A and B are shown apart, each in its own frame.
Chain A
Amino acid sequence: MEMFLHAAQLALDPWAVGAVGLGTFIGLVFGSIPGLTFTVALALALPITFAMDSIPATGLLLGTYIGGMTGGSVSAILLGIPGTPSAAATVIDGHPMAKRGEASIALGAAVVASVFGGLFSLLVMIVSVNLVSRLAIGFGPAEIFALVVFGLSTICGLCGGSMLKGLLSGVVGLMIMTVGMDQIEGVPRMTFGSISLMQGVSLLVAMIGLFAVPFIIEASSGTGGAADARATRVRAEMPGLRLLMSKGWLMVRCALLGTGIGAIPGTGGAIASFLAYDHARRMSPEKASFGKGNLDGVIAPETANNAVTGGTMIPLLSLGIPGDPATAIVLAGLMIHGISPGPALFMNHATEVYGMYAAIVLAYFWVLGLQLAGIRLFVHVLKIPRELLAAGVLVLCLIGAWSVRNSVFDIYAMGVIGVLAYLLVALRVPITPIILGMVLGPTIENEFRTALMLSGGSSDIFLHSPVALLFLGLAALVIVLQTVGELRLRAYKQKVNA
Chain B
Amino acid sequence: MKMRTAMGGGIAVLAAAAVLAAGVPQARAEFPEKPVEMTVLFGGTASTIAQVLSETMAGELGEPVVPVSRTGGGGAVGYSHVMATAPDGYSIVWNSNSVNTTAHIGRVPYSYEDFVPIARVSEETPALAVSAEKGWTGLQDMARAVSGSDDHLKVGISGKGSFTHLVSAALFDAMGIADNVTFIAYGDGKAPVELLAGRIDAAIQWPGQFKSYLDSGDLNVLAVTGAKRIDLLPDVPTAQEQGVDIDITMWRGLAAPKGTPAPVVARLAAAAEAATQSEEFRKAAGNIGFMPAYAGPEEFAAVIARDDAFYAGLLDKLGLGK
> Which residues of A are interface residues toward B (Cβ below 8 A)?
43, 46-47, 50, 136-138, 140-141, 180-181, 183-186, 188, 195-196, 198-200, 265-266, 315, 319-322, 325, 328, 332, 335-338, 340-345, 347-348, 405-407, 446, 449-450, 453-454, 456
Q: Given the complex of chains A and B, what is the CA–CA distance between A114 and B185 in angstroms?
A: 36
Do B187 and A335 touch across chains, with their CB atoms under 8 A apart? Answer: no
Contact B197 A320 (CB under 8 A): no
Q: How far is the CA of A43 from the CA of B51 in the complex (A)?
A: 10
Q: A140-B199, A195-B108 are in contact. List 16 more A-B contacts (CB 8 A).
A: A180-B72, A184-B159, A185-B185, A186-B160, A195-B73, A198-B72, A198-B77, A332-B47, A332-B48, A340-B212, A341-B212, A344-B211, A348-B215, A405-B71, A450-B184, A454-B200
Chain B residues in 8 Å Cβ range of A348: 212, 215
Stretch at the interface among B188-196, B233-241, B243-251: B188-196
Write the chain B residue with the least CB distance to A136: B193
Contact between B187 and A446, CB atoms less than 8 A apart: yes
Contacts of B200 in A (CB 8 A): 454
User: B69: CB under 8 A from chain A?
Assistant: yes
9 A-B residue pairs with CB within 8 Å: A50-B55, A137-B196, A265-B190, A265-B193, A335-B208, A341-B212, A343-B215, A450-B185, A454-B184
**Which 10 pairs show the lowest CB-CB distances between chains A and B?**
A342-B212, A199-B72, A198-B73, A344-B215, A343-B216, A186-B161, A338-B287, A344-B212, A184-B185, A344-B216
The chain B residues found within 8 Å of chain A, CB to CB, are 43-45, 47-48, 51-52, 55, 68-74, 76-77, 80, 105, 107-109, 154, 159-162, 182-187, 189-190, 192-194, 196-197, 199-200, 208-209, 211-213, 215-216, 218, 280, 284, 286-288
Q: Is the CB of B182 within 8 A of A196?
A: no
> Complex formed: what's the CA distance from A180 to B187 in Å?
16
Asked if B193 and A137 sit within 8 Å, CB to CB, the answer is yes
Partner of B43, one of A140, A328, A335: A328
**A residues near B68, Cβ cutoff 8 Å:** 406
Chain A residues whose CB sits within 8 angstroms of the CB of B72 once the complex forms: 180-181, 198-200, 405
The answer on a CB contact under 8 Å between B216 and A342 is yes
CB contacts (< 8 Å) of A406 on chain B: these are 68-70
Please state if A319 and B185 are interface contacts (CB–CB under 8 Å): no
Complex Cα spacing A245 to B107, Å: 59
**Closest-CB distance, B236 to chain A (whole angstroms):** 16
The secondary-structure label for the interface of chain B is: helix
Instruction: Kindly list chain B residues whose C-beta atoms are within 8 Å of the C-beta of A180.
Output: 72-73
The complex places the Cα of A322 from the Cα of B287 at a distance, in Å, of: 18
Q: Which residues of B contact A456 (CB under 8 A)?
A: 182
Are the CB atoms of B51 and A50 closer together than 8 Å?
A: yes
B154 / chain A contacts, CB cutoff of 8 Å: 454
Shortest distance between the CB of B222 and any CB in chain A (Å):
18
Residue of chain A at shortest CB distance from B214: A344
A181 near B74: Cβ-Cβ < 8 Å: yes
A335 and B74 within 8 A (CB): no
Which listed residue, A336, A347, A450, A453, touches B48 by the CB 8 Å rule?
A336
Q: Which of A47, A265, A321, A454 contacts B199 (CB 8 A)?
A: A454
B180 CB, min distance to chain A CBs, angstroms: 14
A320 & B194 in contact (Cβ 8 Å cutoff): no
B44 touches A328 (CB 8 A): yes
Chain A residues positioned under 8 Å from B288 (CB to CB): 335-336
Whether the pair B185, A344 counts as a contact (CB closer than 8 A) is no
A334 to B154, CA, bound (A): 31
Q: Is the CB of A185 within 8 A of B160?
A: yes
Contacts of B218 in A (CB 8 A): 343
Knowing A186-B105, A336-B48, A342-B192 touch, does A405 contact B184 (C-beta < 8 A)? no
Q: Which residue of B lies closest to A406 (CB)?
A: B68
**Chain A residues, Cβ within 8 Å of B284:** 50, 336
Nearest B residue (CB) for A333 = B48
A335 and B184 within 8 A (CB): no
Tell whether A199 pairs with B73 under 8 Å between CB atoms, given A186-B161, A343-B213, A343-B218.
yes
CA distance A138 to B199 in the complex (A): 9
Contact check, B192 vs A181: say whether CB atoms are below 8 A apart.
Answer: no
The answer to whether B216 touches A347, judged by C-beta atoms less than 8 angstroms apart, is yes
B170 to chain A, nearest CB (A): 17
Question: How many angstroms from the CA of A181 to the CA of B72 in the assembled complex?
Answer: 8
Q: How far is the CA of A463 from the CA of B179 in the complex (A)?
A: 29
Q: Is the CB of A340 within 8 A of B208?
A: yes
Closest-by-CB residue of B relative to A140 is B199
